[in-house]
Amino acid sequence: MHVGFTYDLKKDYLEAGFTEEEAAEFDGIETIEGVEGALVSLGHRVERIGTVKRLAEMLVAGKRWDLVFNIAEGVRGIGREAQIPALLDAYDIPYVFSDPMVLALCLHKGMTKRVVRDGGVPTAKFHVVADEHDLDAVRLAYPLFAKPVAEGTGKGIGAFSKIPDAKTLRARCLDLLARHHQPVLVEEYLPGRECTVGVVGTGRDARVVGVMEVLFKPKAEKDAYGLHNKKNYKEIVEYAVPEKELCDACGAVALDAWRVLECRDGGRVDVRCDARGIPNFIEVNPLAGLHPIDSDLPILARLNGTDYRTLLSLIMESAMARIGAARR
């Protein structure tokens, strides 16, 4: 199969003047080579495309592929992750992972929580703060947790995200609004254990590929799995497979959210337990990182007995089965 490969290479954005934080979501060359190598080993012929602009140029020039493997994050706006799937839909070219509606929805953490809440999936009470005036409408129980509504890779999240009182909430929200130029998601803080769940497949065929608990070492930032902890995970974070009871409970919440949101092929769902030990949905990553060594999805898959090549094979099998069924 001739597979096109779309992505955003971090090196290109750093050379264009982006800061390390601005480019944090983009992929290093190790990820590009890892994905490409796995796909080639599965018998596919891979052609690197790159960004949405490069894809547009190639499509206009008449290039086509049997399938596009898309991990591009995009640059601007809430719909940035949806740009490549929307363009491929316009040219009737199938692709791996979720469609434009899902990717745009899931990037906005507030809208995502509204949908999963409506679908009966447990999630912490929350409020979206778009400007200073919205702070007066927050009616939640402290402590709270505040983060940008549409960032990934833990950007805008750290020990400072846990909010003890209204004064701190105002200061933190105003700072996040100014720094990230987007609304702030404010949630009631979940004090329990935190896990991330890997999912492969689509709809009824979706299944859990592994559950991984995130444990902070003494030098880690407390209470938040943010950018600092993720970047320095080898020194300050420990990953472990929790007991079966917690795995089953987290997996059930993750699958319910995955299906309610209509995510496809593969990704990751983050959950955290409340004061009663009940797992709650935090957020979903339908374009999860695929660095062979350092990304959470490959790490949790590996901890649960699924190697990188097999993980990519499961994702591709889901996409090809889904696309084949849609075209019959």
In angstroms, the CA 314 to CA 328 distance is 21
Q: Is residue 117 part of a domain?
A: no
Q: Domain check: are 198 and 176 in the same one?
A: no
List Cβ neighbours of 312 (8 Å cut-off, separation of 6 or more): 35, 38, 39, 42, 290
CB-facing half-sphere around the CA of 46: CA atoms within 13 A: 19
Q: Which of 80, 95, 110 is the last residue of a domain?
A: 95
* 15: confidence class by pLDDT, cuts 50, 70, 90: very high
- Amino acid residing at 262: E
Q: Domain check: are 215 and 167 in the same one?
A: no
List the CATH number of the domain containing 91. Answer: 3.40.50
- Mean pLDDT (whole number) for 62-78: 94
Q: Is residue 101 part of a domain?
A: no
Q: Is residue 233 part of a domain?
A: yes
Mean pLDDT of all residues in the chain? 94
Q: Which of 75, 95, 115 is the last residue of a domain?
A: 95
In angstroms, the CA 47 to CA 49 distance is 6
Q: Domain check: are 284 and 221 in the same one?
A: yes
In angstroms, the CA 95 to CA 106 distance is 18
In angstroms, the CA 189 to CA 116 distance is 18
pLDDT value, residue 318:
97
Q: Which of 74, 95, 116 is the last residue of a domain?
A: 95
The pLDDT of residue 224 is above 80: no
Q: Is residue 134 part of a domain?
A: yes
In angstroms, the CA 310 to CA 316 distance is 10
Q: Domain check: are 205 and 315 in the same one?
A: yes
Q: What is the pLDDT of residues 254-290, one digit of tens each?
A: 999 999 999 999 999 999 999 999 999 999 999 999 9
pLDDT value, residue 317:
97
3-17, 85-99, 166-180, 214-228: lowest mean pLDDT where?
A: 214-228
Q: Which domain holds residue 84?
A: 2-95
For residue 232, what are its two tokens?
């320095």
pLDDT value, residue 328:
52
* 169: confidence class by pLDDT, cuts 50, 70, 90: very high
pLDDT value, residue 220:
83
- Mean pLDDT (whole number) for 170-185: 94
When mean pLDDT is compared over 33-47, 66-80, 155-169, 205-219, the highest value belongs to: 33-47
pLDDT value, residue 297:
97
List the CATH number of the domain containing 140. Answer: 3.30.1490
The pLDDT of residue 22 is above 90: no
Residue among 286, 218, 297, 321 at smallest CA distance from 35: 297
Instruction: Tell me the percentage of the chain whose pLDDT exceeds 70.
Output: 99
The pLDDT of residue 211 is above 80: yes
Q: Is residue 118 part of a domain?
A: no
Q: Domain check: are 35 and 67 in the same one?
A: yes
Instruction: Name the H helices within 10-165.
Output: 10-15, 29-41, 52-60, 83-90, 100-107, 109-118
List, edge to edge, every strand of the sheet that includes 279-285. 237-240, 207-216, 194-200, 266-273, 279-285
Q: Domain check: are 323 and 199 in the same one?
A: yes
Helix, strand, coil percentages, rounded to 5, for the chain: 40, 20, 35
The DSSP code for 129 is E
- Amino acid residing at 271: V
pLDDT value, residue 216:
87
In angstroms, the CA 112 to CA 309 distance is 30
Q: Domain check: are 252 and 144 in the same one?
A: no
Q: Is residue 111 part of a domain?
A: no
Q: Is residue 107 part of a domain?
A: no
Q: Is residue 114 part of a domain?
A: no
Q: Domain check: are 261 and 166 in the same one?
A: no
Q: Domain check: are 129 and 50 in the same one?
A: no
What's the number of domains the chain is made of?
3
Q: Domain check: are 204 and 311 in the same one?
A: yes
Residue 173 contacts residue 184 (beta carbons within 8 Å): yes
Q: What is the pLDDT of residues 29-66, one digit of tens each?
A: 999 999 999 999 999 999 999 999 999 999 999 999 99
Q: Domain check: are 35 and 131 in the same one?
A: no
